[in-house]
Structures are given as C-alpha cells and as structure tokens.
Amino acid sequence: MRVSSYFAIALLEATAAFAVPSWSSSHDSALQLRRGLPNKVSKRPNHPIAPHHPGKRFPPSSPRTKTCAVKSHGNGTDDSDNILQAIKECNNGGHVVFSRGEKYTIGTALDLTFLKHIDLDVQGYIQFTNDTTYWQVNSFKHTFQNATTFFQLGGEDVNVYGGGTLDGNGQAWYDLYAKDIYILRPILFGTIGLHGGSITDLNLRYSPQWYNLVANSSDVLFSNITIFGGSVSKNPAKNTDGWDTYRSSNIVIQNSDIDNGDDCVSFKPNSTDIVVQNLKCNGSHGISVGSLGQYQGEVDIVKNIYVYNVTMSNASDGARIKVWPGVSSALSGDLQGGGGLGSVTNITYDTMAISNVDYAIEITQCYGQKNLTLCNQFPSNLTISDVNISNFHGTTSKKYDPLVGYLVCSSPSVCSDINISGVDVKSPSGTNLYTCGSIPGIEKQVNCTSTNKGAN
C-alpha cells in the first residue's frame, strides 16, 4: 500500500482545521527578544498531519502536571546546569519553560536521551557557545558521515515548541571549516532515539553543519519550523542540510520554511515510512534520497517516502536520488566511499514548483565519482525501483540549459519502474531535455538528448 493512501488516517488524527503557517519574509523578526513580557506557559500546539500520513498512528501525549522554569544568567555564562536541573525536575510528566525575553547560553554538551513524558517550551533565545575547541572534543559522535551534535534529545513522548530560537553560532565554524575540512562541526538539533513526540514552532539559526539529524527515532512530527543562517564572511556556510533522517521510521516533516546551503531534506540509510509536505526550500540541494551505498558491507534501505507540495527556489536540484558507485571513490577529502549494498523503493515526489533550479530531477548512481570509465566498470550495488515523479512545473536555471534534468543509472539491471509524468518544466531557452542513460523505458517518458552511463 502506498503512503498516499493513508489520507483517512490523517483525517482521523486531525482534531483541528489544517492551517499552513504564515511564513515571514523577514528572518530578523523571528530573532527579536521581547523583553519585559510576563512569563507564560505555552499551550501545546496542535499540528494535524495532513494531507498525507505515513500510515502508522502516532502515540498520544499524556497530560503534564508540573511546571519548571529554567533560570538564565543572562550574561553569556553557561546555563547548562540550570537547564539540566529543570529538565530532571520536570521529567516524567512536566512542562519546562525557557522564558520569553530571556537569552540562554549552552556551553556544555547535554545528553537528554533519558526524557519521558515531558514538554520543553522554548519561548526564549538559546545560543550555543562558539568554543570550537571544546565542541570538537565533547560533542556527541554518531556513526554516519562523521556527524556530531551539540546535544541529543531522545526518550519517549517528548514535545518541543514555544516559538523561540536555537542559534548554533555558526560563523566561527564556517570560517574554521574553510581552513580545515576535517573539523567536526556540530549539528544544531539532534533527535536521537526519540520514540513518540513532536518538534514544532521553532526558529533554527546558524547551524555549524546540518540543522537536524533524526536518528534511531520513530513517530516524530516536525512542523512549523523556520531555518535560516548564512555566512557574513567570504567563507560560506556548507553542508547545512535542513533535515537528515537516518535509521528512522514514521517521521513527518511539514509546513516549514528552509533557507539553507545543502539538502532541504535528505533521506539517509534506513529511512522508511516518511512524509515530507508543504515546504518552502530556498538555496538548497533539493529533496534528496541519499547519498546511499557509501560504506562497503553496509546495507542501506530507503523505502515508502512521500514528498508532496514543495516550492523549490534557487537550488541545485528539485527531486534527487544519489547513490555511490560499486567501488570506493572520493567526492572530497572529508566525503568518500562507495561499494555499499541496498535498495531504494516506493519513492514518490508529487507536486513541486521549480524556480531557478539547476536540475528539476536528478538520478545518479555515480555520486562522488568523476571517472566515468571506472563508474561504468563498477556499477552500483544498490537498486532503484518503483519511483514516481509527477506534477512538477516551473523553470530551471541557466547552468545546464538546454537540459532540465539528469536521469542516469550505472546499469539497466539495477534501475527499474521509474515513472515520470505531468512534468512541465522548461529551461530558460524553452527546452525540456534530459540527459538519460541505463534506465529502461525512460526515453518514452521524457525528451532524452543522449544515453550516457556517467555521472554529472
């Protein structure tokens, strides 16, 4: 059964009318501290999962019966002890308030994977210190792609909301990475081992690397999130993915505004039963499956993904599937691999508005490999099947004009049942041409310029 057929479940869960958030054109307004206002406990927001649902009903949250306020020094002194104390006092049935108008500083790595039946009401402004030496040593290390996080939030029945801001203080990291690509840059928000909960109504700013890592988690909703944070120096903010899901299932990401410098959302290995809907993405690398097959001996599965109603502007890609070849290779000094196993199946991209995007659609099994001869000699070990892309419209950028897409597998034996329909995307010169190769039947679906087994 396809993900899209679970609409009835979404209606059952929606106890209030679905409303798309009013995205502000001014990022600065979300960062202003409103001092002098009385402290209030926020009502837990209700964000119905709609119009699509991954299928499995999300567990309900129990009532919260106690409230704890986090005290702030307010002068840049580390507030981590106060934060941890309040969370421990209100764990198992409480509501923790980061007060509106207050600024909180975090200079200590916090392991919050013990949480149960707790709400974190972030109304204020939380900023992580820019002590790059400390964070490289003490941030939490994860197994995939050298990922590290400032903190890790996990447990059972946890809700985070409040309309406040988390600031990763990324400028020091952008400048340091320009000098040394091997530094470990923390991810701003680590959802690690969370089973049941929601992350909603937050502003995420200036992450050193990815904004969100969702790992080993299930039954989690992300809704009404704004993401923004560029560099003010000549050194760009790199690898600032909006969300990366890893070894997680029954995840929903919806109704959010993302302005970043890498994948808007990326489905990493063993991401299953995920819905992404109603997003505005700007400056990104698209909604991406992968990269996959990076590690030899590892089996990467991505299946049952539904992406619906995305606006994609000023990006490298719209819909993207990226798989490493069947032999180890290097994309850069800090990103290399290939030869892994696995499969991509039941992937749907439905409705995307394209504006100044290099490729509306890109499928490659030679990610990270510039040597096309080597890529053809060692086809990917990871299969791609049952992919459906439909209802795209708009205009690509000038970068690959007259091309609007790139659809190339490393061998016809590892790609099948790839369906593209209702795509009305033109290049600036008015063409709708694709580079095609080793995908059975693709020439009957799009206008192919050539067959080419290599990678772009």
Spacing of C-alpha 332 from chain mean position: 21
Identify the H or E element spanning 88. Answer: helix 80-90
| Of the candidates 68, 117, 123, 53, the residue with the CA atom closest to the CA atom of residue 91 | 117
Structure tokens at 251: 């995840």
Which region holds residue 416: left if phi is over 0, alpha if psi is between -120 and 50, else beta? beta
The radius of gyration of the chain from alpha carbons, rounded to an integer in Å, stands at: 22
d(CA 403, CA 424) in angstroms, rounded, equals 13
d(CA 163, CA 167) in angstroms, rounded, equals 13
Q: State the pairing for strand pair 140-141/148-149.
A: antiparallel
Identify the H or E element spanning 187. Answer: strand 186-187
Structure tokens at 399: 């970068």
The answer to whether 419 touches 445, Cβ cutoff 8 Å, is: yes
The answer to whether 3 touches 348, Cβ cutoff 8 Å, is: yes
d(CA 34, CA 136) in angstroms, rounded, equals 33
Catalytic (active-site) positions? 285
DSSP-assigned beta bridge partners for residue 67: 95
d(CA 192, CA 216) in angstroms, rounded, equals 6
Spacing of C-alpha 158 from chain mean position: 19
